[in-house]
Amino acid sequence: MDALNAGQAQEPTAAAHKMQLLMVQRADGGLTIGDTHEYEHPFAFDTLEDPYDHLTEVVEGFLGRPLPKIRRRWAGVYAQCVDTSRVVHREQVRDGVWLVTGPGGRGMTCSPAIAEKTADELGW
């Protein structure tokens, strides 16, 4: 079984929206919680409430109390390299200019290794 598909069963709403639980406390005491993923093109331009309602229920279950009012939401697109043999897309787009993109939702954790491999490949 593919490691990305292995794991515990999800509620239907979580499975339909490719949800993963991210929850981190911010320096001001607030929480950042998320998130959902959409992989099929074209991507929707709007957000749906069902996944947010589900996420709120799950987080409130962990915390044992209702969440305060949500102050901000972020919705965006992760660039995902579609060549499954590579984690990122690297391409020289002009002399001295390289495009390195496509780690999807792995950018925060993989960026140091991506930068190191890119520098090695470019002989820096």
Q: Where are the domains of the chain?
A: 1-75, 89-121
Q: Is 109 helix (H, G, I), strand (E, B) or coil?
A: helix
> 89-94 and 97-101: which strand pairing?
antiparallel
Instruction: Count helices and strands (H / E) in the chain.
Output: 3, 4
**Peptide bond before residue 35 is cis, with ω within 30 degrees of 0:** yes
Cα 11–Cα 14–Cα 18 angle in degrees, nearest 5: 135
Give the pLDDT confidence score for residue 31 in this predicted structure: 87
Judge whether 30 and 56 are in contact, CB under 8 Å: no
Give the pLDDT confidence score for residue 14 in this predicted structure: 87
CA 86 from centre of chain: 18
Token representation of residue 63: 């915390």
**DSSP-derived secondary structure letter, 112:** H
Give the pLDDT confidence score for residue 5 in this predicted structure: 60
Ordered mean pLDDT values, 10 residues apiece, the chain (124 residues): 66 86 88 79 80 92 92 81 88 93 83 93 90
Give the pLDDT confidence score for residue 6 in this predicted structure: 64
Own/partner long-range contacts of 13-16 (Cβ < 8 Å, ≥24 apart): 13/50, 13/51, 13/53, 13/54, 14/51, 14/54, 14/58
Give the pLDDT confidence score for residue 3 in this predicted structure: 59
Give the pLDDT confidence score for residue 90 in this predicted structure: 93
Containing H/E element for 3?
Answer: none
Beta bridge partners of 80: 103
